[in-house]
């Protein structure tokens, strides 16, 4: 008898479903690798794939902050430049964690074997995005103690700034 039920109606335990799931699983787990273009302090692009850095939140491109002397500066732009300078021409490898509401891959990315998400927070150019992960909170506290990057002056957390607390 021919298979007449749609594929989506197959029971989860059917051999065909298990086979299709196991065949697709490695494709989902494959890292995204290549030269990265920095979009902003927490978003990169590799070979046409937009990647949001997991667990961190960097200032928006147009966001302004104050430095240690109280002078305004474009902290979002500076965060993006810091990331781009740090990556340089190194190959980047990203491990997918999720997909965000904008369709971007959410990932932990590495360059030269170093977690770039952690690097951004440690250098003070991004904060731990506690709403999504506590992973980088210790790094944020270290940056705050060292008065690194954003922590050298005053800034509105990026999530508040986006909500209009400008």
Catalytically annotated residues: 52, 60, 104
Whole-number Å distance between alpha carbons of 67 and 130: 24
Question: Tokens at residue 13, please?
Answer: 């335990």
CA 9 to the chain's CA centroid: 35
3-class SS of residue 127: strand
Whole-number Å distance between alpha carbons of 62 and 75: 8
Q: Read off the DSSP letter of residue 89.
A: T
Question: What residue has token string 């957390």?
Answer: 157
Kindly tell me the burial class for residue 164, based on how many C-beta atoms sit within 10 Å of its own C-beta (0-12, 13-18, 19 or more).
exposed
Whole-number Å distance between alpha carbons of 27 and 129: 28
């Amino acid at each position: 008898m021919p298979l007449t039920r749609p594929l989506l109606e197959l029971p989860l335990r059917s051999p065909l479903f298990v086979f299709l799931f196991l065949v697709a699983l490695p494709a989902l787990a494959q890292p995204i690798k290549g030269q990265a273009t920095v979009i902003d302090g927490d978003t990169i692009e590799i070979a046409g794939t937009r990647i949001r850095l997991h667990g961190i939140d960097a200032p928006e491109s147009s966001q302004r902050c104050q430095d240690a002397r109280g002078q305004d500066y474009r902290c979002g732009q500076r965060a993006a430049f810091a990331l781009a300078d740090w990556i340089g021409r190194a190959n980047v490898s990203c491990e997918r964690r999720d997909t965000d509401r904008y369709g971007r891959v959410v990932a932990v990315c590495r360059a030269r074997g170093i977690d770039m998400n952690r690097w951004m927070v440690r250098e003070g150019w991004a904060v731990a995005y506690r709403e999504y992960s506590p992973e980088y909170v210790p790094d944020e506290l270290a940056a705050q103690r060292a008065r690194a990057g954003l922590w050298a002056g005053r800034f509105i957390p990026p999530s508040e700034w986006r909500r209009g607390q400008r």
